[in-house]
Homo-oligomer: A and B are copies of this chain.
């Protein structure tokens, strides 16, 4: 149950933007700072923007910034966007297996626990963790 590289990059980028909350930061700058392949980060940032977590400005001196404050964005939300879902379960929505499906109830329960955990960690809480040198 591993977090993809993609998600890891996304979380790190979001934390970097949280640290620099007042500035617009370009992908190039971000990619260098966090040692992330630039075109890959570009995709990731686009997803986060489409999901409503980022604002972008185009053109020279453009870049990204957080749309909300670091104490309003959870790691759970970031992961949900980048992983597609946080659900470890299989039969998400239209599953044929209905009542009493053991997979469903058990993994749903595990999922709820993980989700609650991740929804309690805010970007703000993670800013201090890093040194980046």
Point out residues on A near B: beta carbons under 8 Å: 1-5, 7-8, 11-12, 15, 34, 75, 79, 83, 85-90, 99-103, 105-107, 109-110, 113-114, 116-118, 120-121, 126, 129-133
Contact = CB atoms under 8 A, between A and B. Distances in A.
Nearest to A82: B1
A87 B133 CA distance: 24
Given A100-B133, A131-B102, A3 B107 contact: yes
A129 to B, nearest CB: 4
Contacts of A83: 1-2
Number of this chain's copies in the complex: 2
- The residue in A2, A114, A118 that gathers the most chain B C-beta atoms within 10 A of its C-beta is A2
Given A106-B15, A118-B110, A88 B3 contact: yes
A1 to B, nearest CB: 5
Given A12-B106, A75-B110, A100-B130, 17 more contacts: A1-B2, A1-B3, A1-B79, A1-B86, A1-B114, A2-B87, A3-B107, A3-B110, A11-B107, A12-B102, A100-B132, A101-B131, A102-B130, A109-B129, A113-B117, A113-B121, A114-B114
Contacts of A126: 106, 109
